[in-house]
Amino acid sequence: MKKLRWLHRYMPEYLKLAVPAWVALLVEVLVDLSLPTLMASIVNIGIRNSDTPYILRTGGIMLGLALFGSLMGLARNWLSTKVSQDLGTLIRADLFRKAQRLSMSAILKFGPSSMITRLTNDVMQVQNMSFMLTRIFIRAPLLLLGSVIMAFILNPGLAMILVGVIPVLGFLIWLRIQRGLPLFKKVQAAIDRVNGVMREYLGGVRVVKVFNRHRYEQDKFDAANQNLTGLGVKAARSMATIQPLMLVLMNGSIILIIWFGGIRISAGNMLVGDIIAFINYSLQILQSMMMVSWIFTAGVRAKTSGDRIGEVFGLEDGMPLPEEPVVPVGQGALEMRNAAFCWPGQSIPVLKDISFRVEPGQTVALIGSTGSGKSSLVNLFSRFYDVSEGAVLVDGQDVRAYGLSELRSRIAMVPQQAILFTGTIRDNLRWGRPNATEEELEAAVRLACADEFIPKLPDGYDTWIGQGGVNLSGGQKQRLCIARALLCSAPVLVMDDSTSAIDMGTESRIRSRLRQHAQNMTVLLIAQRIHSVMNADRILVLDEGKLVGSGSHAALLEDCPIYRDIYRSQMGLDRSGKEVV
């Protein structure tokens, strides 16, 4: 139950509406318990004595009570719906806020698909359970207890039949829970898998179409879907196999009550009205046991989902924040001191013993083969991850001494993958600086050469962008991402291979405009093309996570074999420096 402790924080708000719902439910139960006794009095007194006024009077009381009970039921249903929906809203909001606060490594522990399932399907299971708690969970035991008491008042002998049946039904319900809990855990994991396959397909739909892999993706989804179906059926069967036994016991007890009741009526020890009332109370008892069974079935799923939500709430970020963050002061100096980095859960370092310093206003480029650690290196400055050894500094302070918001407000980043969000072009450009003026926005667009295509779009800056920028080309998306970063006016600009989809002519114009604009801005540039880094103040060469070269383009051609090989391969030269035909 430790994983469900996170629910405690929601109890005060939950109880504000749950308590009135339970009061309405209690009144409704009292009405239900009174009706069989009134019916018995109609039979035993009114019908037996042919007393029509008594029948009408008692029947009117029953009708009034039934109407009042219905009104209480409507109030209880409204309160139950309201409190469960409010609870689901609060949990989803807190889960989303928790996900936003988590570091990249913490989020990767579950994966995006599982996080989506926990935020939607798992919250829905807990929400449904909260609805049942205020609608029938309290009703069932109250009706059960009240009916047992009324049955004993009517006839203690016949009530012993129910005393014998109730424990057996309780054991069957317990058995149902024990069989269902592990199966529903597997069902939720299977939902994660289905979401994962669907998310992967939608993210790479163009690649799937290009390579005609529809059948492969369909088969992969069918396998995940069939697995979910199989587990769902297995879980439902495990719960359903207990149901017939419960029905047999219930109906068997009714038969015994009618049999022994008939004997008592024949012997003159019991009235017909009493046996009718007793059967009604017996049905209410058995109906309550069935309600309990349904509740515990839903409870099994809710417990599984609640545990999964609790895992997210209980996840330790692993990225401690300072109690008294340092106030950023400086113009954007960057430094690494003997820095090493391993991906979470791995022992092989991605970066090893990296040391360099970038002065404010300098443009420093990183180049190296794929997988050499370039993107991992620049992500450390924004503290997406923490170094395993050494230190990463911004303006002379360790990044771990800053608050995350203050640190990241000083670093504008153009990511390797051009990420845009649903909304207009203007909305996307102002992501990092919502209060930017129209003049500042247009200036950033000119620097990124995005002014070459935005005016040609149907609605200009108000053109609607689909999720991920699906209605724009790769080069257009990259230029918008560059403009978005420039609009932040941060002292540090990080460009992570952000011109790979842009033609060399446009890239050259962007570089030229940036050199004029970013004279006081520190630029950290990752690129694959030699042409993109040749004019940088300094070039850092990475190979297998190590810094193997540092200097100007000319110096590296002389001193760094790896840089020289990259240059020759891209320029089409052999080892002697002659052009390869």
pLDDT digits (tens, 9 = 90+) for 61-91: 889 988 998 898 888 888 888 988 999 999 9
Residue 574 in this model has a pLDDT that exceeds 70: no
Question: What is the CATH number that goes with domain 2-181+240-313?
Answer: 1.20.1560.10
Nearest to 172 by CA among 284, 233, 282, 247: 247
Task: List the single range of 282-286, 340-344, 532-536 with lowest mean pLDDT.
Answer: 282-286
User: pLDDT > 70: what percent of the chain?
Assistant: 96
Euclidean distance between CA atoms 233 and 294, whole angstroms: 17
Of residues 405 and 251, more confidently modeled: 405
Q: Which fold has domain 334-571?
A: Rossmann fold (3.40.50)
pLDDT digit string, tens, across residues 489-500: 889 999 988 887
Q: SS3 for 357? A: strand
Residue 448 burial (CB count, 10 A): 29
Give the pLDDT band of residue 321 (cuts 50, 70, 90): confident
Q: What is the pLDDT of residues 176-187, one digit of tens each?
A: 777 777 787 788
* Residue 579: pLDDT over 50: no
- The two structure tokens encoding residue 157: 């002998």
**What are the tokens at 145?**
């207890």
Residue ranges of alpha helices (H) inside 268-358 are 272-313
Query: Domains of the chain: which residue ranges?
Result: 2-181+240-313, 334-571
What phi, psi does 528 have (nearest 5°)?
A: -100, -25
CA distance 474 to 480: 10
Q: Convert the pLDDT of each residue in 256-269 to its tens digit.
A: 877 877 777 777 77
Task: Pick the more confident residue, 178 or 349.
Answer: 349
Query: What value does the mean pLDDT take over residues 314-339?
Result: 84
Q: What is the pLDDT of residue 547?
A: 92
The answer to whether 161 touches 256, Cβ cutoff 8 Å, is yes
Mean pLDDT, the chain, integer: 83
pTM: 0.71
Average pLDDT over residues 437-451: 90
Query: Is pLDDT of 335 > 90?
Result: yes
* Mean per-residue pLDDT, 525-539: 87
Q: Give residue-wise pLDDT tens across range 350-377.
A: 999 999 999 998 999 999 888 888 888 9
Q: Exposed, middle or buried: residue 97 (CB in 10 Å: 0-12, 13-18, 19+)?
A: exposed
pLDDT of amino acid 340: 93
